[in-house]
Structure 1
Amino acid sequence: MNFKSLPQLLDYFKEEKTCIEYYEQIRWNGNPVCPHCGSERVYRTNRGFKCANNECYKKFTVTVGTIFHNSKISLRIWFAAIYLATSHKKGISSVQLALDLGITQKTAWFVLHRIREMLKDKAPQMLGENKMVEVDEAYIGGKEKNKHINKRRSLQDRNLTNEGKPFTPKKTVVGIIERNGKVVLKHVPNAELTNMGAFISKHVAHGSTIYSDEAPVYTHLKRNYTHDSVKHALIIYVEGSVHTNTIENFWSVLKRGLYGIYHQVSEKHLERYLDEYSARFNTRRLSSQERFEKFLVDSESILSYKTLINN
């Protein structure tokens, strides 16, 4: 199999049996393991497998313990959804996915969130060991001029709108990106040192070269990094190798996707959308099939609907 488009993928996965055999090879490499107890002593049954461990002895299929867990949707539809969600640079909405795959919008919304669960970076690596790094923050939310008068920033000092609801500022996202490398994102309460410093220290190796803008929150970086900043306030955007254009370009893709495709993202689920955009960016150099298989390898994550809506 070497697919480069959705029709080629669907031509290969015409039957559910083909999908199951393919996923068994991806997940277990020919050696099934019981997802309940981890035993390799299993045998095949008419509908899947059964654990031979006397303390377990449970039945299971290849989808147990994965994002496909307890799903009534065929793997063929799931594979098409994964391809669409990971191939579109700015993402795909649940409304559009429902139309494309012939499922309900509610189902498509749940499918996309399970896919985002799969896209989480399970083993994040330190950035900046061999490349220059840029760090910046972005603010996600509607423009002030588009808001109702009683919800605009001018009422922040009062802390209450005319309707008695708390004022909600834009959501803060901090991003770290390697030039010609990977990006890591995190939603933080605000752009203060306690939030930004811990995140940078966790993901960037000490001694690395970091570039940022002139925001005071980044002045502490000189303690552990080679740090320089570009003076945006003076309308200076590039000084030799000192700039933040790489992360700014990423922000433009992220915001065009969030505003143009999803229109509005709740703070409750924002982190999941960040996982989606960073995963697509970090696999941009892989072929369609390589990206598809990589994500399937990381699909051992269970997300129930109850857990999703109650978080």
Structure 2
Amino acid sequence: MLKEKRRPMFNKDFNSILEVAREFATEEKCIEHLEALYWNNKPVSPFHEDSTVYKCKGNKYKCKTSGKYFTVKTGSIFDNTKIELPKWFMAIFLVTNHKKGISSVQLGKDLQISQKSAWFMLMRIRKCFGIENDIDDKFEGICEADESFFGGKNKNRHKDKKVPQSQGRSFKDKTPVIGVLQRGESEIIDGKKIIHSHSKVKCIVGNNTKSETIQPFIKSVVVKDSVLISDEWLGYRGLENHYDHHVVDHGKKQYVNFDNPEIHSNSMEGFWGIIKRGYNGTYNWWSKKHMQNYVDEFVFRFNLRTSQNNERFNSLLLNSQIRTKYKDLMNA
């Protein structure tokens, strides 16, 4: 009697890292899960999608057209890795479920690998988060636009390292991040609040907060004629020609339009608060050349915050067919 093939755990939720470790305890179990996710258990050649594929020993396959051998890891974040897949799976679970992220130092301790290896793992994983920041998925309805700045506080620096005139929107020592949030939709039915969708965000790291930086991003993300709410910054002027643009004047200590309480950017401000707590509490510092990857990480977790642990885990795995080499990270 043939042994029944083990089915991948798509629907089972993982409540802890211990459950992940038990479910994916061996390399073979991880490979089976990846083959089901990537190929639906029907191997596809990464060299020629329409090619006939031959199964070989040791979880290897051969592409008939190219004559090349490959595995399910070929062309993915797991390609050519020296770290076993069970540790990769645990790392992915941790980084997709820790609300404020996890440092490479802590991940190295948790997985008993070096800090350098843990950092490389995390950077490879972060390269797969960008799918949630895809500008092709347009926002509509009520949207909030805002920008924030990341970098050490000038008042906390040593006297000989303070940057003069760096307060407020002067960001000589900081990096601006521009964000747009689409509010979720809900309605009250029979006295109960029914939520149809949750708010989502998209963010980019910018060189400045001028209109030529802010406005093309907003126009690429938000559908024309949608409701757009921002503060009074000059970079948003002119958007009234494309959107139903409302302004909340933060300079006058106005954070909600009292004539219409729906006019505010507090939801976007809340998202910045989540990133800042992760930045200050977990990472302490980001280099500018890698900052977009860190921002994508927080966007991914925010947009999938109402999903189950296994949904975030499998969503990352589905987008993990991106190979990032160490030299590419260093030369970015």
From 236, 246, 259, the equivalent of 1:218 is: 236
Displacement of 1:168 in angstroms is: 4.5
Q: How many percent identity over aligned positions?
A: 39
**What CA distance in whole angstroms lies between the structure 2 residues aligned with 1:219 and 1:235?**
19
Q: Secondary structure at the match of 1:79?
A: helix
Partner of 2:194: none
Displacement of 1:90 in angstroms is: 0.6
Partner of 2:43: 32
Q: Secondary structure at the match of 1:153?
A: coil
**What CA distance in whole angstroms lies between the structure 2 residues aligned with 1:127 and 1:221?**
17
**What CA distance in whole angstroms lies between the structure 2 residues aligned with 1:126 and 1:67?**
24
Displacement of 1:133 in angstroms is: 0.4
From 213, 222, 226, the equivalent of 1:204 is: 222
**What CA distance in whole angstroms lies between the structure 2 residues aligned with 1:107 and 1:179?**
38
From 122, 126, 142, the equivalent of 1:116 is: 126
Contact 1:119 1:295 in 2 (8 A): yes
Measured at CA, do residues 124 and 202 of structure 1 come closer, stay the same or move farther in structure 2, by a change above 3 Å? closer
Give the AA of the match of 1:46: K
- The TM-score, its normalising length taken from structure 2, stands at 0.87
Displacement of 1:155 in angstroms is: 6.5
Contact 1:210 1:226 in 2 (8 A): yes
Contact 1:65 1:301 in 2 (8 A): yes
Contact 2:47 2:63 in 1 (8 A): no
Partner of 2:309: 288
Displacement of 1:120 in angstroms is: 1.2
**What CA distance in whole angstroms lies between the structure 1 residues aligned with 2:63 and 2:102?**
42
Displacement of 1:150 in angstroms is: 3.5
Partner of 1:256: 277
Q: Does residue 28 of structure 2 align to residue 7 of structure 1?
A: no
Displacement of 1:15 in angstroms is: 1.6
* Runs (5+) with no aligned partner, structure 1: 157-166
From 164, 176, 180, the equivalent of 1:176 is: 180
Partner of 1:163: none
Give the AA of the match of 2:151: G
**What CA distance in whole angstroms lies between the structure 1 residues aligned with 2:274 and 2:49?**
41
Contact 2:77 2:322 in 1 (8 A): yes
**What CA distance in whole angstroms lies between the structure 2 residues aligned with 1:29 and 1:40?**
16
Give the AA of the match of 2:308: S
Contact 1:42 1:49 in 2 (8 A): no
Q: Secondary structure at the match of 1:251?
A: helix
Partner of 1:238: 256
Partner of 1:159: none
**What CA distance in whole angstroms lies between the structure 2 residues aligned with 1:96 and 1:110?**
13
Displacement of 1:152 in angstroms is: 2.5
Structure 2 counterparts to residues 20-99 of structure 1, below 5 A: 20-54=31-65, 56-99=66-109
The count of corresponding residues between Structure 1 and Structure 2 is: 299
**What CA distance in whole angstroms lies between the structure 1 residues aligned with 2:284 and 2:63?**
50
Q: Secondary structure at the match of 1:177?
A: strand
From 242, 246, 251, the equivalent of 1:228 is: 246
Contact 1:47 1:61 in 2 (8 A): no
* Runs (5+) with no aligned partner, structure 2: 1-8, 185-198
CA offsets, 1:134-184, max 9 Å, x none? Answer: 00010101111112333323267xxxxxxxxxx952101000011132111
Contact 2:100 2:282 in 1 (8 A): yes
